């Protein structure tokens, strides 16, 4: 692939998904785009990128562009990834809302960039484990991603042996999955707790409604500073005044957005800069 075409590919990805493709990533583009190129009848990745580059600014097949963008995103995910955010969900966020929302008994959670579904399903399993504590409460979990392929996988709720061995405690596997051939299927009671929807984080998210908790993990790392700030700004708009934002282990708001601050003593957990959770809990 020529350096000029690679540059155009990088620009297309930045515009469509926020992904920053460094100059040293030509090999990655080649390997990830080769199957897309074959599928679309091109000789190789270079021919596909060349064709896209020639079309740039003049439209181009939106389905082909979507396939290219999806192929270039990193979809790695696993159940209870990093564990701590899920402990914080159970021990910090849930107790807060069980008090602060005791009138409404309704909590909305957004798993932004959910990939193949392990994150929202992990949250659903934590909720299920609460038993009588959450009886009579409504918890909505909305899980979104840019990738149609990942959403389809997530909706199907089928995981390989390798995927269920990464992070998922064995008791949870026994309780919430059934074997289906050489795969594991998530139980209908967990499946129905999550709604999946296509959403690009670069687009306005206000139509998704307001949220009490936003998990936006391991996606900002792929964006430049400006895009990170824009996405965090949008999340701030839809997060309840006493809401929580959870970022990935390698992500922070520091030096990027002044809309959030870290919750004291809770690494990775953010609240609105002006939030005062002590008083918010009293509201009911």
Ligand X SMILES: C[S@@+](CC[C@H](N)C(=O)[O-])C[C@H]1O[C@@H](n2cnc3c(N)ncnc32)[C@H](O)[C@@H]1O
Contact positions vs ligand X (CB under 6 A): 17-18, 73-77, 81, 113-115, 119, 145-147, 150, 200-202, 217-219, 248
Of residues 42, 51, 13, 45, the one with CA closest to residue 29: 45
Mark residue 246 as left, alpha or beta (left: phi above 0; alpha: psi -120 to 50; beta: remaining).
beta
Q: Least distance to ligand X from the beta carbon of 100, Å?
A: 25
Token pair for residue 7?
A: 């540059």
Output 44 or 163, the one with its CB closest to ligand X. Answer: 163
Give residues with Cβ within 8 angstroms of 136, minimum separation 6.
105
Torsion of the alpha carbons at 229, 233, 235 and 240, rounded to the nearest 10:
140
Output 53 or 150, the one with its CB closest to ligand X. Answer: 150
Mark residue 228 as left, alpha or beta (left: phi above 0; alpha: psi -120 to 50; beta: remaining).
alpha
Output 18 or 157, the one with its CB closest to ligand X. Answer: 18
Q: Least distance to ligand X from the beta carbon of 276, Å?
A: 28
Output 100 or 201, the one with its CB closest to ligand X. Answer: 201
**Rounded-to-integer distance, Cα 101 and Cα 139, Å:** 11
Element (H, E) at 119: helix 118-129
Token pair for residue 48?
A: 């596909």
Q: Least distance to ligand X from the beta carbon of 175, Å?
A: 21
Q: Least distance to ligand X from the beta carbon of 231, Å?
A: 8
Q: Least distance to ligand X from the beta carbon of 153, Å?
A: 10
Output 86 or 176, the one with its CB closest to ligand X. Answer: 86
């Amino acid at each position: 692939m020529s350096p000029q075409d690679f540059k155009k590919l990088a620009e297309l990805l930045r515009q469509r998904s926020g992904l920053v493709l460094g100059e040293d990533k030509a090999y990655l583009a080649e390997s990830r785009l080769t199957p897309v190129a074959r599928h679309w009848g091109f000789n190789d990745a270079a021919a596909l990128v060349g064709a896209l580059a020639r079309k740039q600014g003049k439209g181009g097949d939106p389905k082909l562009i979507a396939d290219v963008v999806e192929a270039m995103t990193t979809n790695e995910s696993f159940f209870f990834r990093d564990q701590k955010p899920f402990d914080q969900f159970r021990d910090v966020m849930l107790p807060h809302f069980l008090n602060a929302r005791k009138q409404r008994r309704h909590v909305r959670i957004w798993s932004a960039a959910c990939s193949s579904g392990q994150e929202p399903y992990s949250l659903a399993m934590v909720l299920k484990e609460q038993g009588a504590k959450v009886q009579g409460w409504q918890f909505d979990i909305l899980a979104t991603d840019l990738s149609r392929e990942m959403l389809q996988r997530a909706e199907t709720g089928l995981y390989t042996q390798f995927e269920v061995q990464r992070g998922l405690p064995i008791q949870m596997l026994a309780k919430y999955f059934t074997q289906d051939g050489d795969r594991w299927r998530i139980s209908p009671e967990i499946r129905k707790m999550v709604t999946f929807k296509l959403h690009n984080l670069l687009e306005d998210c206000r139509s998704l409604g307001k949220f009490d908790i936003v998990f936006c993990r391991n996606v900002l790392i792929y964006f430049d500073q400006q895009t990170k700030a824009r996405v965090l700004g949008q999340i701030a708009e839809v997060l309840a005044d006493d809401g929580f934002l959870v970022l990935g282990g390698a992500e922070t708001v520091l030096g990027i957005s002044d809309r959030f601050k870290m919750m004291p003593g809770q690494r990775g957990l953010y609240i609105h800069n002006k939030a005062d959770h002590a008083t918010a809990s009293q509201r009911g």
